[in-house]
Amino acid sequence: MKSYLAAAVQLNSVPDLQKNLTQAEDLIELAVRKGAELVTLPENFSFLGDEAAKIAKAEEIHQASEQFIKTMAQRYQVTLLGGGYPTPAQTGKVYTTALLVAPNGQELSRYEKAHLFDVNLPDGNTYQESSNILAGKNLPSVYPSKDLGNLGISICYDVRFPELYRHLSQMGAQVLMVPAAFTAYTGKDHWQILLQARAVENTCYVVAPAQTGFHNARRQSHGHALIVDPWGVILADAGEEPGLAIAEINPSRLEQVRLQMPSLKHRVFL
């Protein structure tokens, strides 16, 4: 593993596939111009706002999203995470899939979101992902990149389930990717602290691309794409507008923190 720059892209995706992909490419290009070698896109990067429309167009969104991720990785010669898009299932529902692709366009890792966001929030918004989405049945894997380190994938609501990240750290993860579309209501209180907790308890870098702003008349995302170091320090914050959080992933810093705080070696209950 070498030192390199990682970018967490922040988007304001809407129910317009081509508009979203154009916005995403602009920010991928910007990240690469700034020197990023790992670029991550948030959950629902290609389509967000109207669930009925997403399900109706699921196959089109799926095919366009996967082709986009592979094309962008090759075009910009970057390792690219497409942080969440619908993959149709035989039941008529979809999985939310994250795909990690190498600069040559080769698929490196794939994960289907395991934890589904079924909540009634005090602001009056109700989210029932399980009505249209199937939960993935497999734990995410860790991809061992010689240059970028051991990369672990999760998606959004997963961040509330520390056992998933403990699995990733036990598998050797050094960089945890958390692409999200966190709601504005929950994000203001929980987003940053959850990401810092996952970084600290696993002594890993966390790269968390995000959605921001309104996606339709009611759905609003928190923004604040973040990169967090293994000590829990916020290295980069994209704020509330579309853009980038970009920061260095440094193996010396990772080693230093793990020597100073070797908590992964002190676990009693496995």
> What are the structural domains, with CATH classification, of the chain?
4-265 (3.60.110.10)
pLDDT score at 123: 81
Closest C-alpha to 270, from 124, 166, 149: 166
pLDDT score at 269: 86
Task: Say if residue 96's pLDDT is above 90.
Answer: yes
- State the amino acid at position 138 in one-letter form: N
Tell me the per-residue pLDDT of 3-56, one tens digit each, with 9 for 90 and over: 999 999 999 999 999 999 999 999 999 999 999 999 999 999 999 988 889 999
pLDDT score at 35: 98
User: Residue 91's pLDDT band (boundaries 50, 70, 90)?
Assistant: confident
Task: Say if residue 109's pLDDT is above 80.
Answer: yes
Q: Are strands 210-214 and 220-222 parallel, antiparallel or unpaired?
A: antiparallel
Tell me the per-residue pLDDT of 228-252, one tens digit each, with 9 for 90 and over: 999 999 999 999 999 999 999 999 9
| Percent of the chain's residues with pLDDT above 70 | 100
Contact (CB, 8 A) for 9 and 34: no
Task: Say if residue 270's pLDDT is above 80.
Answer: no
Dist CA 135 CA 155 (whole Å): 12
Give one DSSP letter per residue of 40-79, joined into a string. Answer: EEPTTTT--S-HHHHHHTHHHHHHHHHHHHHHHHHHHT-E
**188 tagged catalytic:** no
pLDDT score at 68: 98
Contact (CB, 8 A) for 230 and 149: no
pLDDT score at 33: 98
Instruction: Give the CA count within 13 Å in the CB-facing half-sphere of 91.
Output: 10
pLDDT score at 131: 93
User: Residue 218's pLDDT band (boundaries 50, 70, 90)?
Assistant: confident
pLDDT score at 253: 98
Dist CA 185 CA 181 (whole Å): 12
Active-site option among 43, 51, 112, 129: 43
Contact (CB, 8 A) for 147 and 4: yes
Tell me the per-residue pLDDT of 198-215, one tens digit each, with 9 for 90 and over: 999 999 999 999 999 999
Residue with tokens 């994938």: 153
**156 tagged catalytic:** yes
Dist CA 43 CA 130 (whole Å): 16
Mean of all residue pLDDT scores within the chain: 96
Dist CA 136 CA 94 (whole Å): 10
Residue with tokens 């921001």: 212
Active-site option among 51, 70, 112, 113: 113
**255 tagged catalytic:** no
Tell me the per-residue pLDDT of 136-180, one tens digit each, with 9 for 90 and over: 999 999 999 999 999 999 999 999 999 999 999 999 999 999 999
pLDDT score at 34: 98
